[in-house]
Amino acid sequence: MGGDHGPPVVVPASLQALKKCPALHLILVGDNDVLQEQLRNQSYDASRLTIQHASQRVEMDESPSQALRSKKDSSMRVAINLVKEGVAEACISAGNTGALMATARFVLKTLPGIDRPAIISTFPTLSGKNMRMLDLGANVDSSPEHLFQFAVMGSVLASAVDNIKEPKVCLLNIGHEDIKGNELVKATAQLLNQTKAVCYAGYIEGDQLYQGDADVIVCDGFVGNVALKASEGIAIFIRNLLKEGYTRNLFTKFAALVSMPILKSLVKRMDPDRYNGACLIGLTGIVIKSHGGAKISAFAHAIEEAIVQVEKNIPQRISTEVEQLLKLSRDPS
Amino acid sequence: MGGDHGPPVVVPASLQALKKCPALHLILVGDNDVLQEQLRNQSYDASRLTIQHASQRVEMDESPSQALRSKKDSSMRVAINLVKEGVAEACISAGNTGALMATARFVLKTLPGIDRPAIISTFPTLSGKNMRMLDLGANVDSSPEHLFQFAVMGSVLASAVDNIKEPKVCLLNIGHEDIKGNELVKATAQLLNQTKAVCYAGYIEGDQLYQGDADVIVCDGFVGNVALKASEGIAIFIRNLLKEGYTRNLFTKFAALVSMPILKSLVKRMDPDRYNGACLIGLTGIVIKSHGGAKISAFAHAIEEAIVQVEKNIPQRISTEVEQLLKLSRDPS
């Protein structure tokens, strides 16, 4: 029921995903009447699509604590409960990020050894390789131990999903030299330098985020969120300037016409739809956050992201890795 | 002597600035032989250009403490000394940023009431208005009081240079609601909400940096540096994809040809040269930092930035404003 568009996007995206993935079963959680209405006159395999009624919905501007307290029958809460009960293997939501994080953390709990879940997402890079970055805004005022845990989780995800043997993990900083950075980054670097659990490759600066040198980039949620949104901001700036330029007069419109294949390939390469579906990592279950403004194909992509995480058994893998680490730190021999 | 190019950029840029600004006097500080060589066969008004020999230079990768300790006759140190002694009214350098900041702070000291100098620079926005942002990397682990001082200094600069009566000052955050953000941002917002010294307009998110809604954007140096460099990173990504697309084959090269006016106007609008010249604000003298990779016209722009700051008497204005504030806090009636 969440996101900017709600069921008119989520339902068609679900039908699209069901067609594409024959093994997929989906439970639509939300207002029964609204969902039935969306499904009317649609053809789909009813044995793989059920509706679970929920009488409430979390508003996009509702505070997480408010949602947690007073929306116990919201579509979000019911969906996460289904994961907790083992009825569903993953939950996908385009709703209020803060409420989703708070509810998921409250209901599912974090994995043993993980203090805080983080938001991780995938980005395109110049090299063509994917880059994963965390935390993108779930946690502010993180400690070095939190960032260390993020590094381990990001490394496990990149290794499992992208089949990278030893994912290169970098710390986001404002310089490469040891003396550069704030206290958080310097203390985290010390922890990462001492571990064999991740392949730590040192500091990376903001202008190298999209070069493809790192498989996983770790930072505090405040910093990650700013970096991500500043990137969006400048991309929108450039898009608007191009649009302005190409629509100025007849000649520029002709230039736009002949440039169309190039501009289309640019948009495709950076297409946020293809990268939709951030993961709330570090929980005992799988929760995927779609962009609130996602359209049908983007939301379908978030569903596919959930399928991959289920198939790869991500929470279990993180749990095993962290358990191994905790064992090592208890018994360093 | 600093920057990626040294005198071959700085000297021609200086001659360019001398031509453009008839009231300008410049002192080239550095190796006398190298500078004389650069000036050979050039025509210029010798009464407005002198050389001050300095036997050392700070390397680009030298640590600030090392530079401060062992490079007492470096071009950087001598140039800042000239400002201290009142021989020069401003210092412009393309050299090592950390060393420049440390040396300027050590020699010139901060203004009364200012704990730390900050790096502030100007950026283009969609609305066509300029936006100034600080701190861009001089300070990490800032306190709310530091950010408050940055807000005051940024506001004074925007008001004096851009003739804005009440510059709109925003705090960079990861959301608009009061509950969003880290402890630093929340505590700073409290300070800004209580003051009349700046026109505080609330939180701003990373994706709105370049929209032109704020005249001044305040953040910790770690966050500002990451935001700035992440923006650079994505701009380079887009530029490379466009370049790749437009050079693919004969047809795309034709598309590039007819698109040239649009692409050129895009580059001009975002031209980093036009925005070269960050200011080390909060010191008793004017110090301008040019981008290390700046070419001639960009470095000339940094010189012009220094001229404006001298004409507008920025350190004095900040000092007066801060003194006023300190007086108010002592005597709130």
B263-to-B108, B136, B241, B271 alpha-carbon distances in Å = 43, 28, 13, 12
For residue B247, being part of any structural domain is answered with no
Higher pLDDT, A141 or A269: A141
Residue A332: inside a domain: no
Q: A256 pLDDT exceeds 70?
A: yes
Distance CA A198, CA A328 (A): 14
pLDDT (tens digit per residue) in B155-193 = 999 999 888 999 999 999 998 888 889 999 999 999 999
Residue of chain B with shortest Cα separation from A236: B207
User: How much is the pLDDT for B329?
Assistant: 66
What CATH number is given to the structural domain containing B268? Answer: 3.40.718.10
Contacts of B270 in chain A (CB under 8 A): 237-238, 241
- Which pLDDT belongs to residue A182? 94
Is residue A65 domain-shared with residue A133, that is, in the same domain? no
Q: What is the pLDDT along chain B (333 residues), one digit of tens a residue?
A: 999 999 999 999 999 999 999 999 999 999 999 999 999 989 999 999 999 999 999 998 888 999 999 999 999 999 999 999 999 999 999 999 999 999 999 999 999 999 999 999 999 898 889 999 999 999 999 999 999 999 999 999 999 988 899 999 999 999 888 888 999 999 999 999 999 889 999 999 999 999 999 999 999 999 999 999 998 888 888 888 888 888 888 888 888 888 888 888 877 777 777 778 899 999 999 999 998 889 999 999 999 999 999 999 999 999 998 888 877 766 654
**Domain limit, last residue, from A249, A274, A299:** A274
Region for residue A173 given its phi and psi (left: phi exceeds 0; alpha: psi -120 to 50; beta: otherwise): beta
What pLDDT does B332 receive? Answer: 54
- From chain B, the residues in CB contact with A137 under 8 A are 174
State pLDDT tens for residues A233-251: 888 888 888 888 888 888 8
pLDDT computed for residue B201 by the predictor: 96
Whether B122 contacts B217, CB under 8 Å: no
**Token pair in block for residue B152:** 């005051």
Same domain for A31 and A108, yes or no, is: yes
> Could you tell me if residue B253 is inside a domain?
no
Among B182, B206, B246, select the one facing A228 at the smallest CB separation.
B206
Comparing A175 with A51, the larger pLDDT belongs to A51
What pLDDT was estimated at residue A77?
97
Residue type, A30: G
| Dihedral, A280, A284, A286, A291 alpha carbons, nearest 10 | -20
For the record, the structure tokens of B231 come out as: 């923006």
Is residue A300 within 8 A of residue A17, CB to CB? The reply is yes
Q: What is the mean pLDDT of residues A46-56?
A: 96
Q: Examine the domain organization and report whether B267 and B139 are in the same domain.
A: yes
pLDDT of residue B330: 62
Between CA A303 and CA A280 the distance in angstroms is: 14
Q: Which residues pair with B74 in a beta bridge?
A: B56
> Is A318 a domain residue?
no
Q: Which residues on A lie below 8 Å from B248 (Cβ)?
A: 262
Summary mean pLDDT of chain A: 92
Residue A333 pLDDT exceeds 60: no
- pLDDT above 90 (res A128): no
Q: Is a pLDDT exceeding 90 seen at residue A263?
A: no
The confidence band for A330, taking pLDDT boundaries of 50, 70 and 90, is low
With 60 as the cut, is the pLDDT of residue A195 above it?
Answer: yes
Residues A77 and A185 in one domain: no
Q: Strands, E, within chain B: which ranges?
A: 26-30, 49-53, 90-93, 118-124, 130-134, 168-172, 199-204, 216-218, 278-281, 286-289
Residues B110 and B3 occupy one common structural domain: yes
Q: How many domains does chain B have?
A: 2
Q: Does A209 touch chain B (CB under 8 A)?
A: yes
pLDDT at residue A332 above 60? no
So what's the pLDDT on residue B331?
Answer: 62
Tell if the CB–CB gap between A252 and B233 is shorter than 8 Å: no
Q: Give the chain B residue whose CA is nearest to the CA of A178.
A: B63
C-alpha to C-alpha distance for B235 and B241, rounded to whole angstroms = 10
With beta carbons less than 8 A apart as the criterion, state whether A326 and A113 touch.
yes
CA–CA dist A170, A152 (Å, integer): 11
What range defines the domain where residue A249 resides?
Answer: 116-274
Whether residues A110 and A122 fall in one domain: no
* pLDDT per position as a tens digit, B62-97: 889 999 999 999 999 999 999 999 999 999 999 999
Q: Is B85 on the interface with A (CB under 8 A)?
A: no
Whole-number Å distance between alpha carbons of A137 and A119: 7
CA distance B61 to B75: 16
Nearest CA to A77 out of A37, A85, A277, A138 is that of A85
Q: Are B132 and B279 in contact (CB under 8 A)?
A: no
ipTM, interface predicted TM-score of the complex: 0.89
Can you tell me the distance from the alpha carbon of B311 to that of B318, in angstroms, rounded to the nearest whole number?
14
Q: Are residues B171 and B224 part of one domain?
A: yes
Token duo for residue B246? 């437009």
Same domain, B129 and B268: yes
Instruction: Say whether residue A187 is in contact with chain B using an 8 A CB cutoff.
Output: no
Closest Cα in chain B, distance from residue A246 (Å)? 7
Asked if A295 and A307 sit in the same domain, the reply is yes
Q: Residues B143, B95: one domain?
A: no
Residue B18, chain A, CB below 8 Å: the answer is: no
Choosing from B246, B272, B298, the residue where a domain stops is: B272
Residue B331 lies in a domain: yes
A293 & A248 share domain: no
A225 lies in the same domain as A288: no
Where are the strands (E) in A166-307, listed by range?
168-172, 199-204, 216-218, 278-281, 286-289
Residue A210 lies in a domain: yes
**A173-182, A213-222, A283-292, B211-220 — which is least confidently predicted?**
A173-182
Which has the higher per-residue pLDDT, A30 or B262?
A30
